[in-house]
């Protein structure tokens, strides 16, 4: 018998080189024993004279892609004293651990593809335990090659030797491959696929390029004609297009801060919104002060950009509103008519993942879309949720995502899209079963939005086999912010400023500009923007002038509306609104911003994408100081008419549109912040939480924080403030309800 220790490491510890790291540590500390992967994470059995030093090094020197949640130790007795330290085979199936997100190409692998070794020089699928595909190739857990889309590629002798050597950085890197044995590129013309594709791009072609989580539509970002062609074919007239560039491209055409450069260079390699510097075609993002940039994150991207020596458009390979294409046959069927060539390969993509999108606000990072490189990371549940049951929550209708609660962790899925589209709906249902199977999730509680007609809500009812926990939309936003910030279950009530587009309220009306007082277990609606009719119902979300007409009439300024919108069917809409026909009342802050953008001439008659008018309003206010337009002083009804009247007067007096736009942000922020501050001062609230899609507007967020100076404020950083984070809020509310108490 030999005394030793049993060490359980939980967290993001599979597929990150953790076992060879432990093996190397064991050699250094002269330990005997073994390490293996199983359904709960990494399990170590060790004996030796410096186990304390070994344990300390596990946490302090862990691999770059790992994230340790817990290290648990217990005494262990070896029946036979171990000889040396070994790496054992993985055990079990299912998951009590996490899957590592896909990671951008590391510096060592980049050096390999630019080096002289014929096995890896110019090879588009080079990777190691510090980088490469993970979630997008995984079929089931544990994370072993046989359970990935690399299973069909038998390793050559050289790759097998690297894979088997614990001292090699490719030890048990499941996608390991080289030019002799791994996936291969294909292009539509003979010769080197990368060289041929690069030549086509430089000649103005639009290509489909296969990435990690799906295809991109790609063209030369300096070629206005190619950009116009892409927009026409994709049916995407004005929505901003993402760019991919080398550091020299990004630093030429943008002006990234140190924080923005760090985000770009992270293993997630997200799209980051950066201020324009040197000019690129305006058609990349009409009317926007920022462009979305990302660095190349696969060897293929690096090789392609090395060839073209200029930035490329890299936008999702789909028709607008449809899911991103992932299969080669699917690409030829769906994208064939849109592109002049297809650069693909024979490694299958296991699941669709769009690129993640983020921006840096003065307050820090903001995740706008949580996808490749960020999912399927988990969040620890706050104190008080230790005994929560397994929960499945299904989000909303737009920017849909799923959240699973299990073992004190919340797993928020990748961005799944808007459920209006039938193909996206199919993907949503597939993702539900995919996540449940992959993470061995057996929910006892289901949660959904209060709106009965959301497809996600109907799905929850079907999955629950009865009544799921129905959660009011803005309460879910508030709870998502609380959970992300680790607010304890019994931490007390907060004042939640929740500003977004639309959500069904508890009273049956449409909410969207709310001040709530609440926690995970419940809420009160303490104040809200004065409701205005959504003239034409859903059409008001697409046509900002309708909201301007409603708000101007409400403010006693119908003549201004008549002058601004002479061709619109104003009288018909006014009559319908007066009779309450297809004109539900809404307190939406998003529709209020639409109204202001229309009054200032910043919005099209019809938006081509959600948020277009509000984004234009934010962009024109960037860096400008304006007046603080005062809203009404009623404690419960936030009346915008006074502010609108002052705004119109300033516009007619010749004040610049940027100044007015800046004042609109400041005024709305002050109106909500004043009332939230009062709840904190009275002792009813412990802090203020800011959530809802409008808080992805960095100017609004900054103005609100300025107005709340000196008050504890919770904001989003890792979870989208928009509906992409809603499922997290639903899940923790359902968990809190199941735990009972008050």
Pair 141, 99: CB distance under 8 Å: yes
Which is it for the CA torsion 629, 633, 637, 641, positive or negative?
negative
Q: How far is CA 504 from the centre of its chain?
A: 23
Q: Could you write out the DSSP letters of every residue in 73-95?
A: EEEEEESS---SEEEPPP--SS-
Sequence-distant (≥ 6) Cβ neighbours of residue 646 within 8 angstroms: 627, 629, 630
Find the angle CA(32)-CA(143)-CA(166) to the nearest 5 degrees.
35
CB 120 within 8 A of CB 55: no
> Among 718, 728, 678, 605, which residue's Cα sits nearest to residue 366?
718
3-state secondary structure of 245: coil
* Distance in angstroms (rounded) separating the CA atoms of residues 415 and 723: 10
Q: Where are the beta strands (DSSP E) in 362-408?
A: 364-369, 378-380, 391-393, 403-406
Of 121, 125, 123, the closest CA to residue 137 belongs to: 125
Residues recorded for the chain: 742
Structure tokens at 438: 């992959």
Contact 451, 704 (CB under 8 A): no
3-state DSSP of 200-240? HHHCCCCEEEECCCCEEEEEECCCHHHHHHHHHHHCCCCCC
Instruction: Kindly list the strands in the beta sheet with 243-244, ordered across the sheet, starting from the edge strand earlier in the chain.
Output: 185-186, 341-345, 207-210, 215-220, 312-316, 243-244, 290-294, 271-275, 357-361, 364-369
- Is residue 722 flagged as an active site residue? no
Active site residue 37: yes
Answer whether 26's CB lies under 8 Å from 7's CB: no
Cα(290)–Cα(173) distance, integer angstroms: 37
- C-alpha 380/C-alpha 163 separation (Å) is 33
Burial class of 357 by CB neighbour count within 10 A (0 to 12, 13 to 18, 19+): buried
Active-site position among 10, 19, 169, 546: 19
Residue entry with tokens 């293996």? 36
- What stretches of 266-360 show up as alpha helix (H) in DSSP? 299-308, 328-334
Q: What angle do CA 116, 117, 123 make, to 5 degrees?
A: 95
Q: Quote the Cα angle for 593-596-597, to 5°.
A: 85
Write out the E strands in 295-389: 312-316, 341-345, 357-361, 364-369, 378-380
369: DSSP letter: E
Query: For residue 56, what is the enclosing H or E element?
Result: helix 51-60
Q: Per DSSP, which regions of 559-664 are E strands? A: 585-586, 637-638
Taking alpha carbons only, the member of 414, 404, 376 closest to residue 135 is 376
Paired tokens of 310: 């200029």
Which one of 10, 28, 37, 574 is the catalytic residue? 37
User: Active-site positions?
Assistant: 19, 37
């Amino acid at each position: 018998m030999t005394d030793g220790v049993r060490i359980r490491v939980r967290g993001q510890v599979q597929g990150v080189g953790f076992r060879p790291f432990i093996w190397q540590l064991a050699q250094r500390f002269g330990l005997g024993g073994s390490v293996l992967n199983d359904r709960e994470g990494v399990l170590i059995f060790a004996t030796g004279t410096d186990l304390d030093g070994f344990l300390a090094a596990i946490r302090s020197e862990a691999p770059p892609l790992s994230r340790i949640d817990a290290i648990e130790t217990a005494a262990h007795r070896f029946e036979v004293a171990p000889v040396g330290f070994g790496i054992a085979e993985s055990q079990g199936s299912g998951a009590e651990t996490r899957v590592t997100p896909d990671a951008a190409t590391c510096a060592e692998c980049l050096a390999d593809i630019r080096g002289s070794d014929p096995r890896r020089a110019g090879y588009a699928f080079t990777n190691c335990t510090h980088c490469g595909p993970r979630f997008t190739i995984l079929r089931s857990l544990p994370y072993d090659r046989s359970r990935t889309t690399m299973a069909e590629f038998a390793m050559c002798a050289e790759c097998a030797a690297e894979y088997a050597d614990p001292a090699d950085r490719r030890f048990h890197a499941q996608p390991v491959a080289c030019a002799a044995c791994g996936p291969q590129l294909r292009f539509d013309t003979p010769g080197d696929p990368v060289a041929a594709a690069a030549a086509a791009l430089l000649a103005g072609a639009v290509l489909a390029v296969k990435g990690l989580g799906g295809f991109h539509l790609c063209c030369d970002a300096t070629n206005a004609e190619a950009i116009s062609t892409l927009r026409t074919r994709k049916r995407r007239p004005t929505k901003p297009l993402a760019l991919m560039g080398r550091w020299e491209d990004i630093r030429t055409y943008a002006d990234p801060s140190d924080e923005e450069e760090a985000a770009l260079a992270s293993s997630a390699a997200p799209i980051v919104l950066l201020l324009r510097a040197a000019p690129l075609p305006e058609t990349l993002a009409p009317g926007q002060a920022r462009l979305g940039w990302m660095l190349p994150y696969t060897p293929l991207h690096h090789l392609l950009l090395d060839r073209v020596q200029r930035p490329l458009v890299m936008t999702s390979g789909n028709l607008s509103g449809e899911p991103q294409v992932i299969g080669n046959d699917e690409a030829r069927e769906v994208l064939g008519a849109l592109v002049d060539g297809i650069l693909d390969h024979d490694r299958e993509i296991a699941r669709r993942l769009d690129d993640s999108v983020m921006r840096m606000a003065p307050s820090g990072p903001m995740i706008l879309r949580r996808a490749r490189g960020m999912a399927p990371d988990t969040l620890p549940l706050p104190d008080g949720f230790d005994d929560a049951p397994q929960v499945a929550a299904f989000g909303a209708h737009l920017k849909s995502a799923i959240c699973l609660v299990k073992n004190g962790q919340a797993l928020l899925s990748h961005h799944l899209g808007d459920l209006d589209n039938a193909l996206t709906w199919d993907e949503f249902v597939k993702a539900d079963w995919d996540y449940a199977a992959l993470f061995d999730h057996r929910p006892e509680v289901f949660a959904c939005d209060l709106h009965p007609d959301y497809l996600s809500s109907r799905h929850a009812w079907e999955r629950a086999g009865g009544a799921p926990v129905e959660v009011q939309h803005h309460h879910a936003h508030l709870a998502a912010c609380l959970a992300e910030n680790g607010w304890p279950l019994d931490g007390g009530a907060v004042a939640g400023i929740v500003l977004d587009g639309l959500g069904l309220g508890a009273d049956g009306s449409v909410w969207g500009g709310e001040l709530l007082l609440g926690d995970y277990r419940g809420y009160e609606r303490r104040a809200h923007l004065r409701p205005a009719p959504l003239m034409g119902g859903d059409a008001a979300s697409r046509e900002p002038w309708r909201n301007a007409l409603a708000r101007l009439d409400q403010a006693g300024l119908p003549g201004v509306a008549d002058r601004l919108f002479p061709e619109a069917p104003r009288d018909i809409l006014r009559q319908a609104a007066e009779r309450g026909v297809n004109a539900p009342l809404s307190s939406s802050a998003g529709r209020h911003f639409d109204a202001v953008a229309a009054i200032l001439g910043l919005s099209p008659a019809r938006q081509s994408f959600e948020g277009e008018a509000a984004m234009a309003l934010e962009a024109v206010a960037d860096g400008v100081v304006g007046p603080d337009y005062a809203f009404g002083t009623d404690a419960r009804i936030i009346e915008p008419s006074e502010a609108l009247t002052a705004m119109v007067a300033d516009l007619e007096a010749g004040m610049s549109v940027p100044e007015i736009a800046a004042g609109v942000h400041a005024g709305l922020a002050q109106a909500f912040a004043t009332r939230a501050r009062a709840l904190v001062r009275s002792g009813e609230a412990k802090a203020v939480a800011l959530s809802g899609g409008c808080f992805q507007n960095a100017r609004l967020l900054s103005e609100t924080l300025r107005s709340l100076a000196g008050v504890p404020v919770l904001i989003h950083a890792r979870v989208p403030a928009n509906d992409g984070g809603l499922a997290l809020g639903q899940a923790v509310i359902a968990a809190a309800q199941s735990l009972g108490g008050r």
